[in-house]
């Protein structure tokens, strides 16, 4: 990410806010951390420093991102805890409070892949992806929410924000990614519940479903580089996703936006509208199996056609 400006002298959109980003050593997380810092936020850069499959990697990229932020005048600190453990997740919140005095925004971003077709996927692959994606969202959210609830009950104003990271795979499903699709769909449900439960404490919770070139998607988007015909705009650059994430994590500017899911790709932002009642019929008495089947056939004729599962023929 090439930076042309230092932290704005006037503070920026997130001036004074303290933001924790999980999985911020590379890809989307790195782009988010840099973008927040460029808007004046103080950033906790969390990254365990593992490989694409979740196994330990030889480098520790969180410190590199912190160095980048400090180079253009921002404030940041690295955090290497495992956010899929209660201790590690709690320590993210503690790091923010101990280092910068507060926590205002949590961006749950960490994840990895263990792709296999369902018949070939073993229990370890399932558990590992659920642990990092779904549990790795729940635990930081739980500990951050407990902190904000305590602040609110103590009479201190709370303007807190959470941005969770789902995926098109969570919205539509993806062949060969049963574990990942299920985890990302679970994150959507968690987002809706958290938005409803935490509103009373001044917390807004939203989710994004980004499409960008990262370690997890580089094979999918390998050929989608910047095109000369559109002014060199690289539609799959992870930095394209970060402006919305920064806005959702800001203060008064995004007030009232909660419980929403946004698909973000290139220059396009889409408000996703999830499960809503479609055509229905009420017989006001018990159906027979044949009758129920006939009713369903008729309803499906009037229902919208669902989107295709990614990778389906």
Catalytic residue IDs: 167, 180, 184
Alpha carbon distance 111, 22 (integer Å):
9
Rounded-to-integer distance, Cα 256 and Cα 233, Å: 32
CA separation, residue 42 to residues 86, 129, 214 (Å) = 23, 30, 24
Strands 75-79 and 105-107: unpaired
Phi, psi dihedral angles at 275 (to 5 degrees): -60, 120
Exposure of 279 in the CB half-sphere (CA atoms within 13 A): 11
Report the C-alpha gap between 230 and 222 in whole angstroms: 18
User: How does strand 42-46 pair with strand 75-79?
Assistant: parallel
């Amino acid at each position: 990410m090439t930076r042309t400006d230092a932290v704005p002298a006037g503070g920026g959109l997130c001036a004074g806010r303290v933001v924790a980003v999980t999985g911020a050593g590379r890809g989307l997380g790195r782009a988010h951390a840099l973008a927040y810092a460029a808007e004046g936020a103080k950033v906790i850069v969390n990254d365990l420093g593992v490989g694409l499959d979740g196994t330990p990697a030889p480098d520790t990229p969180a410190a590199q991102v912190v160095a980048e932020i400090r180079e253009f005048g921002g404030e940041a600190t690295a955090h290497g805890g495992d956010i899929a453990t209660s201790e590690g997740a709690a320590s993210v919140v503690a790091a923010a409070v101990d280092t910068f005095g507060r926590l205002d925004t949590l961006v749950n971003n960490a994840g990895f892949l263990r792709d296999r077709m369902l018949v070939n996927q073993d229990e370890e692959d399932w558990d590992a992806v659920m642990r990092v994606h779904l549990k790795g969202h729940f635990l930081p959210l739980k500990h951050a929410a407990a902190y904000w609830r305590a602040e609110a009950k103590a009479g201190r104003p709370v303007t807190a924000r959470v941005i969770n990271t789902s995926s098109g795979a969570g919205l539509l499903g993806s062949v060969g990614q049963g574990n990942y699709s299920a985890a990302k769909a679970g994150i959507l449900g968690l987002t809706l519940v958290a938005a409803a439960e935490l509103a009373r404490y001044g917390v807004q919770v939203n989710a994004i479903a980004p499409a960008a070139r990262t370690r997890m998607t580089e094979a999918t988007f390998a050929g989608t580089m910047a095109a000369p015909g559109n002014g060199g705009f690289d539609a799959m650059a992870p930095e394209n996703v970060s402006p919305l994430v920064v806005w959702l994590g800001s203060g008064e500017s995004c007030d009232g936006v909660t419980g929403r899911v946004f698909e973000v790709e290139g220059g396009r932002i889409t408000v996703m509208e999830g499960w809503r009642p479609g055509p229905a019929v009420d017989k006001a008495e018990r159906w027979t199996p044949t009758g129920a089947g006939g009713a369903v056939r008729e309803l499906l004729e009037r229902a919208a056609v669902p989107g295709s599962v990614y990778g389906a023929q």
